[in-house]
A and B are shown apart, each in its own frame.
Chain A
Amino acid sequence: MSEHQTHFQSPLGRVRGHGSAKSGTHHWWMQRVTSLAMLPLMIWFAFSIASKAGAPWEVVAEWIGRPFNAVLLVAMIALGFYHTASGLQVVVEDYIRPERSVMLANLAIRSVCVLLGLLAALSVLRLAI
């Protein structure tokens, strides 16, 4: 340990990485992980879906159901809704008061994201299996 301690936090607290929220950098880190993972998926999806503009149901349903596409779509849905829920959480924490309302808003956001994510994933699986 250095002679002059420049941090108020104890060295043990620092290596554990836990602040007052007891979750360390987990939320921040997961936002980066999901961003990085979605970057290629978004580019793939944007151009794939654009090239299906106006296509009949048969073509679109067949495309969604192909194993390769279905796996990427389900991955994008899971990452996307995880990222969206934790992204909106930060916006709510910044602008909404008091804390009770923050908690209620985040529970509502999480419920909607989980339900929409499940609906989207089930739809893909139904076409794929």
Chain B
Amino acid sequence: MANSHDAREATMIGRRTDGTIIRRPLSPHLQVYDMMQMTSALSIMHRITGTAWSLGLIFLVWWLAAAAAGPDAYASVQWFMGSFIGVIMLFGITAVAWYHTLAGLRHLMWDAGYGYDIPTTYRTGWMVIIGTGVMTVLTWIVAIIAWAS
């Protein structure tokens, strides 16, 4: 093994039965896992939505800071949020936030020790997918009614 700059490499060293040293395979690995299964697809989606929502927080901070700065600054945020790109982006953030929140709730259920059998896993998986759609549409119905009035 080459000189390593990462202490975690130590856990990657294994031996074959004849004693020669090999690098252990990574697990889970994309070549081993079938990402087309709902279980693994929803799992990575929680990570992707968590990361995307982290970036989305920048817009929340901008919105709050502009409101604190005064009417002029707030008007420019409002202009951006109401533009074509702004609306698409806000819609994306809404969907991503609801997915992460509902999938997060599913994580908390697992952490409490429930829902590990396969049928329940698939049922709660569908609940997250459908729930994301329902909550996203519901949030936007509220927003569109508020906007129109």
> Which residues in A have some Cβ–Cβ distance to B below 8 Å?
32, 35-36, 38-39, 42-43, 46-47, 50-55, 57-58, 60-61, 64, 73, 80-81, 84, 87-88, 91, 97-100, 116, 119-120, 122-124, 126-127
Contacts and interface: CB of A to CB of B under 8 A. Distances in A.
B146 A60 contact: no
Given A60-B74, A116-B58, A123-B64, A100 B94 contact: no
Contact of A80 (B5, B8, B57, B111): B57
Q: Chain B at the A interface: mostly helix, strand, loop or mixed?
A: helix
28 contacts: A32-B111, A35-B104, A35-B107, A42-B101, A43-B101, A46-B97, A46-B135, A50-B142, A50-B146, A51-B142, A52-B146, A53-B143, A53-B147, A54-B147, A60-B67, A61-B74, A73-B64, A81-B57, A87-B50, A87-B54, A91-B47, A98-B5, A98-B6, A99-B6, A123-B61, A123-B68, A124-B68, A126-B68
B5 A42 contact: no
Interface residue tally of chain B, by bracket?
35 or more
Contacts of B144: 53
Contacts of A122: 68
Q: Chain A at the B interface: mostly helix, strand, loop or mixed?
A: helix
Given A47-B142, A51-B146, A124 B64 contact: yes
Contacts, number: 101
B30 to A, nearest CB: 12
B101 A57 contact: no
Contacts of A97: 5-6, 8
Query: In this complex, which of B5, B8, B68, B143 has the most chain A Cβ atoms within 10 angstroms of its Cβ?
Result: B68
Contacts of A39: 101, 104-105, 108
A88 B82 CA distance: 29
Q: What 5 A-B pairs come out closest when comparing CB atoms?
A: A123-B68, A98-B5, A53-B143, A50-B143, A54-B147
Contacts of A52: 146
